[in-house]
Structure 1
Amino acid sequence: MIKSMTGFGKATAEYGDKTVTVEIRALNSKGADISLRLSSGLRNYELELRNDLSKQLERGKIDLSIFVESNTVEAPIEINTTLAKAYHVQLKKLALELQEPLEDSIQHILKFPDVLKGERKETDENEWNVIKACVNDAIKQLNAFRDTEGKSLQKDFEDRLGKIGIHLEEIKKLDLHRITAIKDRIRNNLADVIGKEKIDENRFEQELIYYIEKLDINEEKVRLKTHLDYFIDTCKENSPGRKLNFISQEIGREINTIGSKANDAPMQKFVVLMKDELEKIKEQASNVL
């Protein structure tokens, strides 16, 4: 069964006095476009995370966020007092030169570079194992979401391809009488211009065969039906998204050719209906893994 590229997964875990929360979202994309939101202590594991995501999710625009919250009060930062005082001296000098009041200087100084220093704590192996298990749980949820969406896509494809098939059958019925109608119309128009008695039947049949060959759509009808069946069969393969896009292009090519050769208003109506269904199929196929 096909899978959607769209999905969401979330998992939580407890480790000592910390709570780990993992959220992962995926949207459609031609390749694996991975974006990670991690704390500085997890940067050493970024490559491993990217490899796991690429392997388990294959492709899509993937956003992964990992939050590690402490349940106890911590003071993770300290103030670089020496640097803060130096900034304050410079600010006072500037205020004096500009003859401007120095207001809320502390708030401004705290925003200056390197005034606040965070203590970087590396994630130990045990904590990483908990986080990694939490990531895998979130990935499983996302894949389950993708499976559910894939079933909806599968049904939508079958319904729309079925409608195209029905329109094709209507075109086949109209095509049975189209050539005869074209032949009679040309004969009548020619008779009106030069007179019925002056028509050379042998020459007329030769020219008509050449003209009718350009309007023949039998090959297109056969190929279109083949592509419709192939699309359904391909949905049973693993990760058929790119392949389905190619097949939908071939379906569109056959529909366009039928439309250009038809030269018949009732048939053109069904061509337009088929194009409408195909556009919706293409939109959905771009979201298939």
Structure 2
Amino acid sequence: MSGSMTGWGIYKTPELNIAIRGLNSKYKEIYLHLPQDLIEAEPLIYKILNDRITRGRVDMYLNFNIEKIKRKYIINNYLFNDAYKKIQNMFKKLNIKQDLPIEYILRDVEGVATTQVMYGYNKLSFEKIKKAVILAIDDFEKSKKAEGTRLIKNIRENILKIEKISKKIKIQFLNFRDVYTEKTRKKIEEIFKSDTDKNIINKDVVEIIEKYDVTEELVRLESHIKQLLMITKLDVSGKKIDFFTQEIFREVNTISSKIQDVNIVGLVIQIKELTEKIREQAQNLE
């Protein structure tokens, strides 16, 4: 069954939080939002996503769970010694007799003490990240499949509604044709009186009625509807559904332009509204 372009995927480990969001787009767009330490791994993570995504915009957010990450305290000896000597000289000049504020130096002098988070891009850590990314994509695809199933269900319901309305149009057309044929015949007979050959009258009637004949359009409309019902049982793309909805739109437009019957025009409007709904839903399918 076709998947939707919209969906969410989430996977968490003690060290990682991964979230994937899918949005509707005509093209395939992949955006990675990674920590600075994983920029080097971006091409490899991108490839994993790219191999699994066919269409739509996908944003992947990967964050390290800082509370679970080990840290390493690093002191810049050069900056520390420099700051210490300057403070020591200042104390001597001011005749201050107290211990030097080492904690102040470590805490407030920029660059003296830094905390390095103990993670980065290496073979071992990337294997863990790769596994987590794949599991997040699996969750994302489950979400897309569920949404796709719901969309296809709604699309098929609307196609069946169109099918019912098209049958009503066919009945209305047959009634219209019979009534209009008889009216046209009487008008021609009144114009040409009784001395006119009936064969000539029948020929004129047929030529006039043919201008309003939508038999071919109804046959094609029925065919498009059946094809739509058939392909929505399969793993179909939104583009293919959109193609058939355009064909349906074309046929009902021709029908309404040929026959200015209030009942038929009203039914055509209903089909157009349902067709537009299907097109909107199909745009969200891969």
Task: Name the residue aligned to 2:206.
Answer: 209
Instruction: Decide which of 22, 34, 37 is 1:38's aligned counterpart.
Output: 34
**Within-5 A mapping of 1:90-129:** 122-129=120-127
Deviation at 1:189, TM superposition (A): 4.5
Structure 2 CA distance, aligned partners of 1:34 and 1:77?
40
Q: Which amino acid aligns with 1:243?
A: K
Which blocks of at least 5 consecutive residues in structure 2 are unaligned?
Answer: 80-109
Deviation at 1:153, TM superposition (A): 1.2
Q: Which amino acid aligns with 1:235?
A: T
Structure 1 CA distance, aligned partners of 2:209 and 2:21?
55
C-alpha deviations, 1:107-136, integer Å up to 9, x for none? xxx9xxxxxx99897411111111111111
C-alpha deviations, 1:10-29, integer Å up to 9, x for none? 11113xxxx21111000111
Deviation at 1:47, TM superposition (A): 2.1
Task: Name the residue aligned to 1:285.
Answer: 282
Instruction: Decide which of 248, 271, 274 is 2:271's aligned counterpart.
Output: 274
1:199–1:75 Cα change, 3 Å: farther
**Within-5 A mapping of 1:235-246:** 235-246=232-243
TM-score, length-scaled by structure 2: 0.78
Structure 1 CA distance, aligned partners of 2:221 and 2:186?
34
Structure 2 CA distance, aligned partners of 1:35 and 1:123?
19
Deviation at 1:207, TM superposition (A): 2.7
Task: Name the residue aligned to 1:55.
Answer: 51
Structure 2 CA distance, aligned partners of 1:260 and 1:59?
37
Equivalent pair of 1:248/1:282 in contact (CA under 8 Å): yes
Deviation at 1:191, TM superposition (A): 6.0
Query: Partner of 2:211: helix, strand, or coil?
Result: helix
Q: Which structure has the bigger radius of gyration?
A: 2
Task: Name the residue aligned to 1:65.
Answer: 61
**Within-5 A mapping of 1:153-172:** 153-172=151-170
C-alpha deviations, 1:205-235, integer Å up to 9, x for none? 3232222222211121121111112112222
Task: Name the residue aligned to 1:146.
Answer: 144
Q: Which amino acid aligns with 2:270?
A: L
Structure 1 CA distance, aligned partners of 2:31 and 2:75?
27
Structure 1 CA distance, aligned partners of 2:28 and 2:10?
20
Equivalent pair of 2:31/2:60 in contact (CA under 8 Å): yes
Equivalent pair of 1:77/1:119 in contact (CA under 8 Å): no
Q: Which amino acid aligns with 2:164?
A: I
> In the alignment, is residue 264 of structure 1 matched against residue 261 of structure 2?
yes
Equivalent pair of 1:234/1:240 in contact (CA under 8 Å): no
Query: Partner of 1:3: helix, strand, or coil?
Result: coil
Structure 1 CA distance, aligned partners of 2:175 and 2:182?
11
Superposed CA RMSD in Å reads 2.9
Deviation at 1:237, TM superposition (A): 3.3
Which blocks of at least 5 consecutive residues in structure 1 are unaligned?
Answer: 82-109, 111-116
Structure 2 CA distance, aligned partners of 1:164 and 1:235?
15
C-alpha deviations, 1:138-171, integer Å up to 9, x for none? 1111111111112211211121111101111111
Equivalent pair of 1:7/1:145 in contact (CA under 8 Å): yes
Query: Partner of 2:8: helix, strand, or coil?
Result: strand
Number of aligned residues: 250
Deviation at 1:45, TM superposition (A): 2.3
- What is the identity percentage for the equivalent residue pairs of Structure 1 and Structure 2? 30
1:128–1:13 Cα change, 3 Å: same
Task: Name the residue aligned to 1:23.
Answer: 19
C-alpha deviations, 1:165-222, integer Å up to 9, x for none? 1111111111222112112333444566x47447664443323222222221112112
Equivalent pair of 1:241/1:288 in contact (CA under 8 Å): yes
Higher alpha-carbon deviation: 121-130 or 159-168: 121-130
